[in-house]
Amino acid sequence: MSDPARQLEDFLQRVPYVRFLGMRAELAGDEMTAILPFSQHLIGNVMLPALHGGVIGAFLETTALAQLSVAQAASPGGQKIAKTIDVTIEYLRPGRPLTTYARADLRKVGRRIANVHVEAWQEARSHPIAFLRGHFLLAGE
């Protein structure tokens, strides 16, 4: 198993909240797709029903942290989890009771700060349900 794959597996296994969400991820080279299977406890609106807005935001943020973890696998201190500085979440569509996917794009990874954009979709990537833009403080040395 390559370093990024091991790092990702470690992140998914070690973080209790990732297990609480039920989030998984698949790696193709260094490109990760995060997967959030639908589960009843993720519901925020029982009438529609729809995923909780907080869950969508949390999934996007956790995707950013996981992708940073993969990217930082080889760097000193890369085993530590980055810290979120700020996030802006834009909601485009309700999250339906379906599996949700997300991909993070590391727009800039500097010495201390990373700028990350994440998008989430369900049935079709061309119909995103939410975007996140955020800054993260890298664990570093």
Partner 1 sequence: MSLDPETLSQLGQHMATTVPQAAALGFQFISAGDGRGCLTVPWREELVGDPDTGVIAGGVVTSLLDHTCGLAITSGTGGRMFGTATLDLRIDYMRAAAPRSGVTCEAHCYKLTRSIAFVRAEAWDVDRADPIATAQAAFILNRPPEAAVAEAPSKP
21 binds partner 1 (CB under 8 A): yes
In a 10 Å sphere around its CB, with 0-12 CB exposed, 13-18 middle and 19+ buried, how is residue 60 labelled? buried
Binding status of residue 2 toward partner 1 by CB under 8 A: no
Q: Which of 7, 117, 1 is nearest to 64 (CA)?
A: 117
Record the tokens describing residue 136, joined without a space: 């993260």
Residue 48 within binding range of partner 1, rule CB under 8 A: yes
Show Cβ contacts of residue 115 under 8 Å, excluding neighbours closer than 6 positions.
106, 107, 108, 109, 133, 134, 135
- Per-residue binder mask for partner 1 (CB under 8 A), 72-101, x = binder: --------xx-xxxxxxxxx--x-------
State in angstroms the smallest separation of the CB of 75 from partner 1: 17
Q: Which residues bind partner 1 (CB under 8 A)?
A: 14-17, 19-21, 40-48, 50-55, 57-59, 61-62, 80-81, 83-91, 94
